C-alpha cells in the first residue's frame, strides 16, 4: 500500500516521535522514583489479575455515574482493541501480501478475520460515540458542573487558566481523528468495491456517501486516512506523558503496585527507631510515597471523589480531586528538575492544597472507595498532617488539648476519673475478677467519659448478661487506642499508645474482643498488627447478630415501637471494614422495618466526627457535616435514627439540638435492650 518513500518517511517519523516520547516516559519513571518507599509487587500474579480485571471490566468506574461510565467502558474496550487494529493496519501498509492473506481468513468455518472486522467496526463507533458524549458533557450538558470546583478550592494556576479543559480537548480530538480516520478508511474501501459487508455494518451504512467517486479518488482517500489514523498516534505520542491520557496505563499500574491494606483506611507506620529519618510526614512532593506520586499520573480528573467528600459537599476548601490534579500540574511544571534529581523545596501545603483543606478531612475514606483508578488522596492529607504536627510543630489549638489529654490522662477528654465509673451498679467483671473470660469488652474512651456513650455500654452489658456471655473488661488497664492522634497527625503519640495497649492486650490474651466504637474496632483489629498485636475484634452489632442467630437473647413477644427507623452506617464500620449487613440484620431481628437513606452502606455520608474532627472546630464551609447527614435522615420521615458509633451518636444529637423535630438517635443495642425480659440495672447514686 505504501510506496518505498512513504515507508521511509513513516519509519523516520516513528523513530523521532518514539524517541521524544521515550524521554517523557523516562522522566515520569524518574519522578515516581523520587518518592519514598518502594512500589509493592508482592503476590504479583494476584496483583496482575486484579489490574487486568479492573481495566477490562471497568468495575470501579461503573459504580457511579452509570451513563457516563457506560460510554467510558465503550471507549476503553475500543481503544484497547485498537492496539491490535493499529498493528494490523501497519502491517497492511508495509507488506502488500498481508491483506490478501487476511482475506483468506474470512471463509467459514474459520472466519477469524470476519470477527476481527466486526469488532473493529462496532468498537470504532463505540469510541466515537463515547468521545462525542464526553465533549458534549464537558461543554454543553448540565452535568458538566461535576467537572468544576468551588471558588474557595485552591487550584494550580494552570488549572485556573483552563489547562484541564485544553488537555481534555486535545485528547478527545486526537481520538476522534485517530479512530475516525481509521473508520473512514474502511468506509472508502467498501465504496471502492461497491460492497455492503455484514461484518462491517456501520461502515456499510456510511459507504454510500462515496458513491460516484472514481477508483483513483477512493484509493487516494484510503491512503490519506491510513496516514491520518496512524500518523496521529505518532504526532500525539510525545504529548502523551504530560496528558491525562496517561491514565490508560497508569491506572492499571496503580492497582498493580499500591499497598495491600488490612482495610481501606489502614495507615502505614513511621519507624521512629530509624535515627536516619529526619522528615516525618510529607512536606514537599518528594516526601510523598512512590504510590502517591503514581496517583497523580493515574488520576482521570473525573472529580468523583469530591462528589462524595463530606467536606467538599458542605462547602469546605477540600477537594480530593483538586489535590490530585494540582499534584499532576505541579509535577508537569517542575518535570525537568524533578526528573534530574534536583531539590524542590516548595511545600505541598499552599501549592497543591490549602491549610484549611488539610484539616477539613474527616478520614471517611469515601474518596478512596469511589476512585475508579485506585487513588488514595486521604493518605496524602494524613501525611501532610504528620509533617505539620511532628516536623513543623503546627497543631490546631483544640486538637493539641486532645493530644495532651491522651498523653497525660489516657483519653482525649483529659479526664482523670476512673474508666470504670460508668459500670457502677452493673457488676461488670474485670479481667482480674474473671480470668477465664471468653470475650473482652474494650469499652473505649467514649464509654469511660461520655455520659451518652455510657448508656450504650450499659445496654450492651444488659444484653451480654441476658445471653449468658462470659465477658470481662480491662478496667483501669485500658487506655486510649490513639485513633485521634494517628488521624490528627501525631503518629509518635499513637505509636506510644498503641505499643502500650498491645503489651496490655498480649498479656491479657483475649480470645475475642468486642467494641461499641468503630474507631476502636479499626485500630485494634486492622492497625495494631503493626505493633505486634493480632486480635479477633468484632463490633457489638456483629456479636449481637450471632447471639440472635443462636437464639440466646430472650425478647418480649411484643416489641417496643420506634416508629419508622433509618440507619446511619459509620464510616469506620461500613466503608472501612465492610460491616454493612450485620447491623441491619440485628434491626430486622428485633422487628424493625428499615427505611434507607439515599447514601447508605459503603456509600454512607460521614457524620463529621472522623479524622480527629470531633476534637476541633469544624473548618469554614456552607454547612456543618453533621447537619447535612442529619437532614438526610429527616428526609426519610424516620422517627428513629439508629447508629452504631458513640461519635456518630454525639454528632447527631448535636444536630438534633438545631433540628428539634428530627428523629431520636439510638444505638442499635439500646433498641435491643428495651426488648429484653431482664430489667435494666440502674446505676448507683453518685453522691454528688
pLDDT at position 356 is 98
Kindly state the percentage of the chain with pLDDT values over 70. Answer: 97
Kindly state the percentage of the chain with pLDDT values over 90. Answer: 92
Residue 681 has pLDDT above 80, yes or no: no
Select 283-397's CATH number: 2.40.128, 1.10.1060, 1.20.1260, 1.10.287.
1.10.1060
Write down how long the chain is.
688
Alpha carbons 27 and 557: distance in angstroms, whole number: 71
pLDDT at position 675 is 86
Residue 314 has pLDDT above 70, yes or no: yes
Give the pLDDT confidence of 624-659 residue by residue, as tens digits.
999 999 999 999 999 999 999 999 999 999 999 999
pLDDT at position 508 is 97
Residue 10 has pLDDT above 60, yes or no: yes
Cα torsion 268, 272, 276, 281: sign: positive
Residue 60 burial by CB count (10 A; 0-12/13-18/19+): exposed, middle or buried? buried
Residue 688 burial by CB count (10 A; 0-12/13-18/19+): exposed, middle or buried? exposed
pLDDT at position 687 is 39
Mean pLDDT of 245-259: 96
Residue 160 has pLDDT above 60, yes or no: yes
DSSP assignment of 54-80? HHHH-TTTTTS-HHHHHHHHHHHHHHH
Buried b (16+ CB within 10 A) or exposed e, 281-303: bbbbbbbbbbbbbbbbbbbbbbb
Give the pLDDT confidence of 398-410 residue by residue, as tens digits.
999 999 999 999 9
pLDDT at position 105 is 74
Mean pLDDT of 107-134: 91
Pairing assessment for the beta strands 640-643 and 664-667 based on DSSP bridges? parallel
Residue 235 is inside which H or E element, if any?
A: helix 215-236
Residue 372 is inside which H or E element, if any?
A: none
pLDDT at position 557 is 56
Please give the backbone phi and psi of residue 122, each rounded to the nearest 5 degrees, phi first.
-65, -45
Q: Residue 640: beta bridge partners?
A: 565, 664
pLDDT at position 20 is 95
Alpha helices (H) in 194-214, listed in sequence order = 201-206
Residue 686 has pLDDT above 70, yes or no: no
> pLDDT category, 108, cuts 50, 70, 90?
low
Cell numbers at residue 17, please? 516521535
Mean pLDDT of 270-279: 93
Tell which residue, 551, 433, 410, has the closest CA to residue 484.
Answer: 410
Mean pLDDT of 495-510: 98
**Which of these ranges, 174-183, 344-353, 550-559, has the smallest mean pLDDT?**
550-559
Residue 612 burial by CB count (10 A; 0-12/13-18/19+): exposed, middle or buried? buried
> pLDDT category, 110, cuts 50, 70, 90?
low
Residue 494 is inside which H or E element, if any?
A: helix 491-508
Question: Are the beta carbons of 487 and 610 closer than 8 angstroms?
Answer: yes
Give the pLDDT confidence of 17-29 residue by residue, as tens digits.
999 999 999 999 9
Residue 388 is inside which H or E element, if any?
A: none
Give the pLDDT confidence of 172-221 residue by residue, as tens digits.
999 999 999 999 999 999 999 888 999 999 999 999 999 989 999 999 99
pLDDT at position 392 is 97
Cα 139 to Cα 168, 243, 326, 585, distances in angstroms: 11, 19, 22, 46
Count of C-beta atoms within a 10 Å radius of residue 267: 20
Residue ranges covered by each domain of the chain:
4-32+63-242, 283-397, 410-673
Question: Are the beta carbons of 293 and 31 closer than 8 angstroms?
Answer: yes
Pairing assessment for the beta strands 439-442 and 565-567 based on DSSP bridges? unpaired
Tell which residue, 399, 469, 467, has the closest CA to residue 439.
Answer: 469
Cα 28 to Cα 25, 36, 285, distances in angstroms: 5, 15, 14
Question: Are the beta carbons of 505 and 532 closer than 8 angstroms?
Answer: no
pLDDT at position 555 is 76
Question: Are the beta carbons of 291 and 251 closer than 8 angstroms?
Answer: no
Mean pLDDT of 541-569: 88
Alpha carbons 541 and 557: distance in angstroms, whole number: 21
Cell numbers at residue 653, please? 444529637
Alpha carbons 183 and 174: distance in angstroms, whole number: 14
pLDDT at position 683 is 44
Q: What is the mean pLDDT of the chain?
A: 95
State pTM to two decimals: 0.94
Chain centroid to Cα 245, Å, comes to 21
> pLDDT category, 688, cuts 50, 70, 90?
very low
Amino acid at each position: 500500500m505504501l510506496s518505498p518513500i512513504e515507508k521511509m518517511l513513516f519509519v523516520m517519523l516513528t523513530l523521532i516521535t518514539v524517541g521524544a516520547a521515550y524521554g517523557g516516559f523516562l522522566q515520569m519513571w524518574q519522578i515516581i522514583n523520587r518518592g519514598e518507599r518502594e512500589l509493592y509487587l508482592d503476590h504479583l500474579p494476584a496483583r496482575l489479575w486484579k489490574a487486568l480485571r479492573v481495566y477490562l471490566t471497568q468495575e470501579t468506574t461503573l459504580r457511579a455515574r452509570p451513563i457516563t461510565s457506560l460510554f467510558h467502558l465503550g471507549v476503553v474496550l475500543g481503544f484497547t482493541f485498537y492496539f491490535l487494529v493499529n498493528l494490523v493496519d501497519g502491517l497492511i501498509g508495509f507488506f502488500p501480501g498481508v491483506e490478501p492473506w487476511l482475506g483468506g481468513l474470512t471463509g467459514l468455518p474459520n472466519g477469524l478475520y470476519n470477527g476481527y472486522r466486526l469488532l473493529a467496526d462496532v468498537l470504532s463507533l463505540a469510541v466515537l460515540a463515547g468521545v462525542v458524549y464526553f465533549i458534549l458533557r464537558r461543554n454543553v450538558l448540565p452535568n458538566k458542573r461535576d467537572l468544576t470546583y468551588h471558588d474557595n478550592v485552591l487550584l494550580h494556576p494552570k488549572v485556573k487558566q483552563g489547562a484541564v479543559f485544553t488537555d481534555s480537548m486535545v485528547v478527545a480530538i486526537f481520538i476522534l481523528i485517530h479512530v475516525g480516520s481509521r473508520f473512514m478508511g474502511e468506509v472508502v474501501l467498501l465504496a471502492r468495491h461497491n460492497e455492503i459487508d455484514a461484518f462491517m455494518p456501520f461502515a456499510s451504512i456510511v459507504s454510500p456517501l462515496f458513491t460516484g467517486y472514481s477508483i483513483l479518488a477512493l484509493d487516494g482517500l484510503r491512503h490519506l486516512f491510513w496516514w491520518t489514523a496512524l500518523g496521529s498516534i505518532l504526532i500525539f505520542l510525545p504529548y502523551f506523558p504530560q496528558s491525562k491520557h496517561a491514565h490508560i496505563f497508569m491506572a492499571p499500574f496503580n492497582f498493580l503496585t499500591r499497598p495491600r491494606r488490612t482495610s481501606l483506611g489502614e495507615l502505614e507506620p513511621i519507624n521512629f527507631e530509624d535515627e536516619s529519618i529526619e522528615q516525618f510526614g510529607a512536606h514537599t512532593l518528594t516526601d510523598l510515597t512512590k504510590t502517591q506520586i503514581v496517583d497523580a499520573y493515574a488520576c482521570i480528573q473525573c472529580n468523583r471523589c469530591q462528589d462524595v467528600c463530606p467536606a467538599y459537599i458542605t462547602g469546605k476548601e477540600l477537594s480530593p480531586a483538586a489535590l490530585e490534579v494540582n499534584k499532576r500540574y505541579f509535577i508537569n511544571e517542575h518535570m525537568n528538575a524533578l526528573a534530574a534529581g534536583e531539590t524542590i523545596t516548595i511545600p505541598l501545603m499552599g501549592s497543591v492544597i490549602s491549610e484549611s483543606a488539610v484539616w477539613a478531612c474527616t478520614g471517611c475514606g469515601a474518596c478512596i472507595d469511589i476512585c475508579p483508578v485506585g487513588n488514595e488522596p486521604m493518605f496524602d492529607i494524613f501525611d501532610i498532617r504528620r509533617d505539620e504536627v511532628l516536623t513543623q510543630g503546627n497543631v490546631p489549638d483544640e486538637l493539641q488539648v486532645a493530644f495532651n489529654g491522651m498523653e497525660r490522662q489516657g483519653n482525649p477528654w483529659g479526664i482523670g476519673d476512673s474508666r470504670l465509673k460508668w459500670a457502677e451498679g452493673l457488676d461488670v467483671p474485670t479481667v482480674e475478677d474473671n480470668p477465664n473470660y471468653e470475650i473482652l469488652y474494650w469499652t473505649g474512651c467514649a464509654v469511660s467519659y461520655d455520659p451518652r456513650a455510657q448508656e450504650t455500654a450499659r445496654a450492651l452489658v444488659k444484653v451480654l448478661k441476658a445471653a449468658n456471655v462470659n465477658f470481662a473488661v480491662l478496667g483501669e488497664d485500658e487506655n486510649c487506642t490513639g485513633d485521634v492522634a494517628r488521624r490528627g497527625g501525631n503518629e509518635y503519640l499513637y505509636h506510644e499508645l498503641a505499643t502500650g495497649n498491645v503489651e496490655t492486650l498480649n498479656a491479657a490474651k483475649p480470645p475475642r474482643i468486642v467494641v461499641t466504637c468503630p474507631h476502636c474496632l479499626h485500630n485494634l483489629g486492622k492497625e495494631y498488627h503493626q505493633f505486634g498485636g493480632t486480635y479477633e475484634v468484632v463490633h457489638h452489632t456483629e456479636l449481637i447478630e450471632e447471639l440472635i442467630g443462636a437464639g440466646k437473647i430472650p425478647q418480649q413477644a411484643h416489641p417496643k415501637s420506634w416508629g419508622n427507623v433509618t440507619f446511619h452506617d459509620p464510616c469506620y464500620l461500613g466503608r472501612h471494614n465492610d460491616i454493612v449487613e450485620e447491623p441491619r440484620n440485628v434491626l430486622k431481628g428485633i422487628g424493625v422495618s428499615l427505611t434507607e437513606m439515599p447514601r447508605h452502606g459503603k456509600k454512607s455520608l460521614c457524620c463529621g466526627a472522623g479524622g480527629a474532627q470531633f476534637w476541633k472546630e469544624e473548618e469554614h464551609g456552607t454547612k456543618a457535616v453533621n447537619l447535612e447527614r442529619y437532614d438526610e435522615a429527616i428526609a426519610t420521615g424516620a422517627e428513629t435514627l439508629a447508629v452504631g458509633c458513640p461519635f456518630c451518636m454525639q454528632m447527631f444529637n448535636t444536630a438534633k439540638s438545631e433540628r428539634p423535630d428530627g428523629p431520636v438517635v439510638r444505638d442499635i443495642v439500646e433498641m435491643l435492650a428495651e426488648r429484653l425480659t431482664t430489667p435494666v440495672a440502674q446505676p448507683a447514686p453518685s453522691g454528688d
